[in-house]
Amino acid sequence: MDLNTARMKTLALVLAGGRGSRLKDLTDHRSKPAVPIAGKYKIIDFPLSNCINSGIRKMAVLTQYRSHTLNQHVQRGWNFLRSDFNEFIELWPAQQQTGEEWYRGTADAVYQNLKMIKATDSEYVVILAGDHVYKQD
């Protein structure tokens, strides 16, 4: 299988439910991935941009803690992908899919969304932190 085919069969899960308690005032009213950077950007823009630059066009952003501003930012700023080409960025809020508990960490967030992951019919899954600032391709 060539690289382009692999990219088309890849789903990126961006874990963006973190509270970011060490950031104190910056995360009192928003999740850590929604913290502003350089004016109009937010931390979440880094992993999403890395996916686009790497050719990954199927993404799910897993949210939980105070996600309203994050949801708005993703919906308004990342709505250019084409569903007719099977490209998307979806917001997957915590839904307590496997019990009454919210996500209890990275592995649990993935586990609670296994049905949704399988429903995307992706062959590969890349799991990324939504609260890290870095460049990758």
Check which CATH number belongs to the domain holding 100 and give it.
3.90.550.10
pLDDT at 135 over 90: no
What's the confidence (pLDDT) of residue 108?
84
Question: What pLDDT does residue 23 have?
Answer: 61
Report how far residue 7's alpha carbon sits from residue 58's, in angstroms, rounded to the nearest whole number: 9
Higher pLDDT, 12 or 38: 12
Tell me the three state secondary structure of residue 37. Answer: strand
**Domain presence at residue 114:** yes
Dump pLDDT digits (tens) for 118-127. 999 999 999 9
Would 134 be classed as within a structural domain? no
Q: What is the mean pLDDT of residues 16-37?
A: 76
Residue 136 lies inside a defined structural domain of this protein: no
Is residue 137 a part of any domain in this protein?
no
Q: Give the pLDDT band of residue 40 (cuts 50, 70, 90).
A: confident
Domain count, the chain: 1
Number of H helices, E strands in the chain: 5, 6
For the segment 9-16, the average pLDDT, to the nearest whole number, is 94
Over residues 53-62, mean pLDDT: 94
Confirm if 18 and 132 have CB atoms less than 8 A apart. Answer: no
Both tokens of 97, joined, read 């899919």
pTM: 0.86
Tell me the per-residue pLDDT of 64-119, one tens digit each, with 9 for 90 and over.
Answer: 888 888 899 999 989 888 888 878 899 998 876 666 677 777 788 888 889 999 99
Residue 111, domain extent: 3-129
Query: Would you call 12 helix, strand, or coil by DSSP?
Result: strand
